[in-house]
Amino acid sequence: MKILNTVAALREWRASVPGGKTIGLVPTMGALHLGHASLLDASERENDLTIATIFVNPTQFNQSTDFEKYPKTFESDLAMCEKYGADVVFSPSSADEMYPDHFLYRVSEHQLSNELCGEFRPGHFEGVLTVVLKLLNLAKADHAYFGEKDHQQLSLISGMARAFFLETKIIPCPTVREASGLAMSSRNLRLSPADKEIAPGLYRVISDFIDPLQARSELERLGFRVEYLVDREESGAIRRSVAAWLGEVRLIDNVRI
Ligand code: AMP
């Protein structure tokens, strides 16, 4: 497995890949868990070569403390990439490596990105779409893998790929959960022991309660500070999305109901 830290090195590696080989791209912010592993696994199965990227993208954080406290577990991330079949890990050595323009050029979406998480995290999806477009352009992958746990992100990335006629096919991957039902997330590492006990309630409540208002009050009763809990129609079914805080940690989840 190759570890590349510069855009130049990634371009050089990409140029050396023979024409007939297929490539899968798995973008991450590190602190890898079995959710990320499932994306790597899918890419390994469906492509000749897999590029995993590890970059805590500063432009998608709207709170500097969230950025600073984002968990970093680089050595075990590399072991996970190796175990799940990555051929290349691209881990840019600095933000300037990805933003030689200092974020003067950005990708914006003007509807969905202002709703749900976007309403509470201004600029977040602009940062996400911009970094993902850069990674897609560098990797020139056949497939890129994204988790349904971040369903709004997945919808926006799929929309961007359609809008800009990108060649890479965006592949959705199901949410991987702990045995308790809690969606795996790098931010779970920051939960206090007491909040870890409460956290599985998020999935349980959004799955079990029919009425969204009752679900919201049940979450508040358990100790969550609910940011939003919204039911929306989506191709003939209802998708329920939630964001809620436990202490300093913001958790998101979504289910089809
Ligand atoms: P992150 O490192 O949190 O930015 O996530 C990188 C990718 O992994 C994104 O496409 C996420 O949607 C996906 N991902 C994160 N957690 C999970 C999970 N529990 N199940 C499936 N995919 C996930």
Query: Is 36 designated active site?
Result: yes
Query: 49-54 and 88-90: which strand pairing?
Result: parallel
- 188 Cβ below 6 A of ligand 1: no
Tell me if 176 CB under 6 Å of ligand 1. yes
Name the residue of 38, 149, 153, 168 whose CB sits within 8 Å of the most ligand 1 atoms, as the mutation to test its pocket: 149
Q: How far apart are CA 149 and CA 146, in angstroms?
A: 9
CA angle 89/54/6 to nearest 5° reads: 65
- Report the candidate in 204, 188, 207, 184 with the shortest Cα–Cα distance to residue 196: 188
Q: Is beta strand 249-256 parallel, antiparallel or unpaired with respect to 237-246? A: antiparallel
Strand order through the sheet with 169-173: 2-4, 88-90, 49-54, 23-28, 143-147, 169-173
Per-residue tens of pLDDT for the chain, all 257 residues: 999 999 999 999 999 999 999 999 999 999 999 999 999 999 999 999 999 999 999 999 999 999 999 999 999 999 999 999 999 999 999 999 999 999 999 999 999 999 999 999 999 999 999 999 999 999 999 999 999 999 999 999 999 999 999 999 999 999 999 999 999 999 999 999 999 999 999 999 999 999 999 999 999 999 999 999 999 999 999 999 999 999 999 999 999 99
The CATH architecture annotation of domain 186-256 reads 2-Layer Sandwich (3.30)
Q: Which atom of ligand 1 is nearest to the CA of 174?
A: 21
Q: Distance between CA atoms of 54 and 48, rounded to whole angstroms?
A: 20
Ligand 1 centre and the CA of 223: distance in Å?
Answer: 25
Fold: same for 2-173 and 186-256: no
For residue 10, how many other CB atoms are within 10 A of its CB?
21
Q: Is 53 in the pocket of ligand 1 (CB under 6 A)?
A: no
Contact 3, 91 (CB under 8 A): yes
2-173 is classed CATH 3.30.565.10: no
Q: How far apart are CA 37 and CA 94, in angstroms?
A: 24
Domain assignments of the chain as residue spans, ordered by start: 2-173, 186-256
